[in-house]
Each structure stands twice: as C-alpha cells, then as structure tokens.
Amino acid sequence: MSRFRLKNLPLSRQILILFMLLTSVLGIGVGIVFPFAVKQYLVNNTYSLLEQEFYTLSDHISFNEHNELLPVPAAAPYFLQVLLSRYEYSFDMVVYSADGVQLGSRISDRASFRDRDAAALYRQAASFPRNQVQHGMLERGGEDYLFVSKLMDYHGFPYYLVLFSKEQELNQINALLTRQFFLIFLVLLLVSWLLAVWFSRYLSQPLRSLDESCQKIAKRQFDTPLTLDREDEIGQLARSFETMKHQLKEHDESQRRFVQNISHELKTPIMAIQGYTQGLIEGVFQGPQAEKGLETIMQESKRLEKVVGQLLYLTKIESVSEMMQMGRVDVIEMFQLLEQRLSVLNQDIEWQLTLPSSLVIEGDGEQLSTAFVNILENQLRYARSRLIVTASQADGKAVIHISNDGPPIEEALLPHLFQRFRKGKSGKHGLGLAIARAVFEAHGGTISVRNEAEGPCFAITLPVKR
C-alpha cells in the first residue's frame, strides 16, 4: 500500500484537513490552558474583591462596652453575585481579638468550619505583618480557604478582621465557565469547519477552471475565453494563463504560416530546377537555351542554398545562443566598416553616421555584424536618399537607431515584422529581420521598429557588459 501523502489529495481537501487539524490543536491547547487560566484569574479577583469588601466591612465593625462584636450587615461582592446567579456564593467573616479569642463571626456553613479551623485561620492571619492587608490560603480538612486579614484598631481596641471564601466555590465557577466556553467553542468550531468547506471550494473552483482551460489549450482550442473576476493571486494566475494562451495561439499560427511560407520559398526554386533539368534530359533545350537553362538551375540552387543556410543559422542562434564567442566589440568601428562594405549596393543613398567617440560592448562580433547587415540591407532597399545611424550609451546599455527616408511600413505588418518569412513588398526571403532579432535577444538586447515622420526607424538596445 502506498504511503499516504497530503499533497496527493485535492487542494480543497488539503485546505479542509489542515484547517481542521489547526483548529483541533488550538482547541486542545486552549482546553488544557483555559481551566488553569480561569482558576488563576478567579483566585486573583477573589482576593481583590475580598479586599474591597474588607474595607467596606471595616467601616461597619463596632464593639460594645464589653468588647463584643455588634451585628454586621450582610453583603457579598456584586461581581460574584452576578457571576454566580445559579449558585449560592458564601462569603464569610471572623473577628478575633489580638490574643486569638473569637469575638464574632458570620459563617454560612458552620458544620464545615470547626473551632480548630478558626484557630488555624487566626494563626495564619497573625503570622503576617500587621500594617497592611494580607492575602493567604489555608488548607484544613480537605477544604481550601482563600482569606484576607489585617490587624485593626477600634478606639484603642486591637482586633483581627478576617474575610474568607472556600476555594470549592471557585471550582464551581471554573467548571461553569469551562462548560460554557467549550459549548461556545464547539459551536464556533462547527461553524468554522462549515466555512472551511465553503472556502476550500471557493479557492479550488477557479483552479479547476484553469485546469480545464489548460486541457483545452493542450488540444489547441484557443478560442475559449478564461474570465475570472478576481484581483488576487489566482486572478493574476488566470490573466497569465490568458496571456500564455494568446501567445501560444500566435505561435501556433506563426508555425502554420512558417510551414506555408517555407513550402512556397522552397517549392519555387525546386520546381524551376526540376523543369529545366527535365527539359535538358529530354532534349527540349538545345544550344543557347540549354546554357540558359543551366544558368537558371545554378541561380535557383544558390537561392535554395541561401534560404536553407539562413534557416539553419536562425535555428542555431535561437537554440544554442550560449555557445556564442563573446569578446570585445567596437560598435563605432563596426559601423564604419559596414558603411564601406554596403554603400556600394546603392551609391545614391547618403549615409549619415552620428556616433560617439567610443562605444565598446561585450558580444559576438560576427553575429552582431550579421544582424546589423540584415537591418542595413533592409533599410537600403527602401530608402529614397538617406540612411541615418545614431548611437549612444545610457544606463549601461548601447542604444542604436537606424532609420531611412523611405515609405512607412504597413501598420498591419509592424507587430509581425520580425517573424520568419514576414516581408514587405520588396522583401526577399523574410528571414533577415528574424535573424537580427534572434541575435540581439541572444545578447540580452531588444529590437523594435516604428514609423516616424521621416520614415521607418529601428531601435536596438544591447547591454554594454554581459
């Protein structure tokens, strides 16, 4: 039998089990601590209330000429009367002379309070200092008494006033409060468990919706919207899933377009090669036509080789970018060499280079040169009279802008310009800008394009140091 693991259960059940365990542990802990805490609280408050009543009764203590205690009005602390409405709380008093003679008392249960208990209570009270009210506890005959006492003076006649209460009655209070507490706690526990069931379902339901959405995405069903009206982490996760779904949909469509485009790009030269080869084999082309056919076969084979080579290069850049040969690349020197190399392609175009005195970055010089060549060739193809290159350094990044004064790029094409086989009206294979983006991203940089008033402008950022 496999070992039970909580993480293998549904999330709603995990939440419910953990919450029940937490509340159960809390209940057990409180159940153990609560009676002791209440008992200590009652003892402290009993001492405090007895002391308050002590001062109240001391104002009513009086003796006759024979030093006999006169009747004292009955009273009990109001707090205890309210607290023990279901119980008869006893609050007792004994008055002793300075030498221990019992002058009077008010005892609710005389059968349980014997003379030896009174003598022990006096000895305990007399053992304390005489200048302040003292708190004490007396254990007699299985009964515990909480008492307060002080040596008082009535017109020069010293006496001890002792107020006490049985601890048994505090235990009754403690039992009553404990029962009431556990009853309330049990009700709250049941309510909290019901809320935990609802809460676990409340949290797991959107996750189940996300799971269903993932299953549909796995089946390439991208048209089902995922809407969760939440602003918490689950809502953020749902929005991330929705973004991922759109990106996967675009990627899927891009892959289909890629297959269609590459089929078209490869089919044309292959058909030309096959047609001319078949004609030469069958003797359809003779003399100059045969030479022209061979020349066409060579041109189309070179075109095919270039397309395949660019595809292989793009795949290499995107998959093994960590194998780049990093080194010191002087961007200023690179653009000066590129100007000399590419200006012959269209000598009617004026190059305007606005470059700083020095701009050195870390990168693969060969790959960066290939990427910039692709962009510059694209710009030269569409420029009317001017090509502008500006470069600067800010916040540890090299910022390069390449623009021309040609016609603007179609707005519908701008978001997809760097995808494979996406090209304008005068484009060739549609791989040059895709290769450029792959190179810059492999270096940790970015590339974007926008239409400005003068013409299209490519913006490239590259980190100065890797």
Query: Could you tell me where the beta strands, DSSP code E, fall in 357-455?
Result: 360-363, 386-394, 397-404, 446-451
Q: Look up residue 69 and give its DSSP letter.
A: B
d(CA 224, CA 109): 83
Contact 113, 139 (CB under 8 A): no
pLDDT digits (tens, 9 = 90+) for 128-178: 777 778 888 877 666 777 888 888 888 888 888 888 877 766 677 667 777
pTM: 0.44
- The domains of the chain, with CATH numbers, are 11-175 (3.30.450), 248-319 (1.10.287.130), 324-463 (3.30.565.10)
Q: What is the pLDDT of residues 387-400, one digit of tens each?
A: 999 999 888 899 99
pLDDT tens for 334-354 read 999 998 888 888 888 889 998
Predicted pLDDT of residue 80:
47
Q: CB under 8 Å to 379, separation ≥6 — which residues?
A: 387, 402, 403, 404, 406, 456, 458
Percent of the chain with pLDDT over 70: 79
> In the sheet that 446-451 helps form, which strands lie side by side, from edge to edge?
350-354, 386-394, 397-404, 456-463, 446-451
